[in-house]
Each structure stands twice: as structure tokens, then as C-alpha cells.
Amino acid sequence: MIIERLQNILKTDSVIEKEGIFVAKEIAEKTVWDKLAIENPTHAVISAKDESEAYKKSEEQIADIKHALKPTDVLLDCGTGYGRVAKYLLPDMQIGGYVGVDSAYEMLSLFKDRYQSHEAEQKTPLLLLNADIHTIPIKEASVDVAIVCAVFLHNHKSVVSRAMDEIKRTVKPGGKVLVYSSFPRSATLMGLQGHAYQALLNLMGKPFKNGPVRYYRRKEILHLFDGFTEVELRPVGFAVLPKSLIFLPKFLDRFWRKGIAVPINRLFEFICPVVLKPYFAMYYDIVATQ
């Protein structure tokens, strides 16, 4: 269901409608994420094994998003995928509108099919946009809250910078921007090997390869939010040892993760003083006010 209020925020000259999904004219017909969506709808968004684990991974984020929203707000979900956030948010909270943007048409089709089969979600009008997050075809200052969940970390930093410019453009003055699981910290052992891998990609002439995790310094993150009136960086997670050794064969990496990294990190997290834990955070979540 799309009400006139949501249709009015579209840049109508930049999109065409395809089976209830609005497609940006400049986007490629298919992307790598479409293939992943066909193989496994959750693969490109979340690695949970079952429904209960998926909800557990999402629970804190959903509560945080609910706290930021008012019933009349329009929410922009950048990199919405199959609608993981909407799946848990909309049955519990009706809002003014939900705008989901993703570069994979197949993922949005999964979102649309589920939405149309659940009456509780349909209480909130839905607008689905097949577009890149750095070229969002909606008008300036047209949404109240924007969220990004586990999307930025797999994009080149130049794409993230352009995406943040789009988010700034589309969020109303005083609106909120919430970013989760998207800014892994540079100052970790995982960050060091991530930078080494990026340097290798640069030498191979593949600096913009989609998929490898990009790591951020605190100053880099704050620069992305230049112009916002308030920016809060929240340290999340805990690791002394890297959870993965990206240059190992997969079977050895699994052994490292389960047999060494996970138990040792849990031990250190248990004995580490609370005041020191932010120094071992894995990434930053962001809450910012436009």
C-alpha cells in the first residue's frame, strides 16, 4: 500500500514502476546481491541460522529504532534487503511510512511478497525503491528518520561518503540518522588485517571491489557526519583477537574462530574492567541528529 504522501516524495522523472517496485533509471538490471537473494534470502543481510537467532541479532536495534520514531514519521531504510528491520518493527509499531531502498530487485521482491501477506505490516504504507544508496531518487528533506544496518562496511569508502551525502539531503532538519554494524574500528587486530587486504586489492587494481569489510578511524566517521547538530558514537562488541584470519583457508579459519578466537575473547571480555571495554570494541554504532 502506497499513499499519496509517499508517492509525493519520489523524484518521478528518475524512476519507473515495475510490479509495485520503483526502479531508478540508472541502476543496473542485476547485481551480485540479486544472485545471493535467489540462493539464500538472508545471506546478503544477516547470517543467522534460524528465526529466533535472527530476532536476537535484531532485538536491540529494533528497540533503538522504535525509540527514535514517532507514529507520524516516515522512515528511510538504506540497504533494506528483504526487509529484516520492517519484519520486526512494523507488526509492533505503525508509522507514517516506510521507504526501503536496495540495489537488488530480487531482495525487494522478497520484501514486497512478505509485506503483502502480513496484515500487521500493511498498517504502515510501504514504498520500495530499487536504487543505489548513493543515488536515492527521493526529494530533499522528505523523511524523518534514516537507518543503515550492516550495509556500509562492505562498500568502498567513496561510496559510503556519497551515500551519507544522500542521507543528509533526504532527512529533514531535526531528523535522526541511525547506523548499525557498519563502521568496524581500525584500531583492532581485525582492522589491521583488513587494511592489509585493502592494500592488496589496491595493488591488484581492484580498490572498489564490493564485499571486503572496510575499517574506520573515529575521525573518519565524524567527518562523514559533518553538518549534523549531534553525533553519538557507541562502541559495540568486544574482541582482543580477530574473529577471523582472512588469509587462512576456510577450514583453518573456522578452527581459529571456534577453537581459539571465540573462547579467548569471551574470557577477556569477562575479566576486562568496564572502563577499558570501549578500547576493545569491534565497531561503532551511530545516532545522529540532522
Place of cell 528483504: 82
Residue 210 has pLDDT above 60, yes or no: yes
The predicted-structure confidence for 132-146, as pLDDT tens digits, reads as follows: 999 999 999 999 999
> For position 39, what pLDDT does the model report?
47
| Least confident residue range of 30-34, 43-47, 174-178, 241-245 | 43-47
Confidence of residue 57 (pLDDT cuts 50, 70, 90): low
* % of the chain with per-residue pLDDT over 70: 89
> Which long-range CB contacts under 8 A does 10-18 form with residues at least 24 apart?
10/127, 10/137, 10/138, 10/139, 11/137, 11/138, 11/139, 14/137, 15/129, 15/131, 15/137, 18/105, 18/130
Residue 119 has pLDDT above 70, yes or no: yes
Residue 48 has pLDDT above 60, yes or no: no
Q: State how far the Cα of 161 lies from the Cα of 223, in Å rounded to an integer.
A: 9
Residue 3's identity, in one-letter code, is I
The predicted-structure confidence for 81-113, as pLDDT tens digits, reads as follows: 999 999 999 999 999 999 999 988 999 999 999
Dig out the grid coordinates for 203 from the structure: 595493488
Q: 4-184, what's its fold?
A: Rossmann fold (3.40.50)
Confidence of residue 207 (pLDDT cuts 50, 70, 90): confident
Task: State CA 74 to chain mean position distance.
Answer: 18
* % of the chain with per-residue pLDDT over 90: 61
Place of cell 543503515: 148
Q: Which of 274, 212, 277 is nearest to 239 (CA)?
A: 277
> For position 14, what pLDDT does the model report?
86
> For position 53, what pLDDT does the model report?
60
Question: pTM to 2 decimals?
Answer: 0.85
Is residue 194 within 8 A of residue 142, CB to CB? The reply is no
Q: Which of 80, 60, 70, 88 is nearest to 143 (CA)?
A: 70
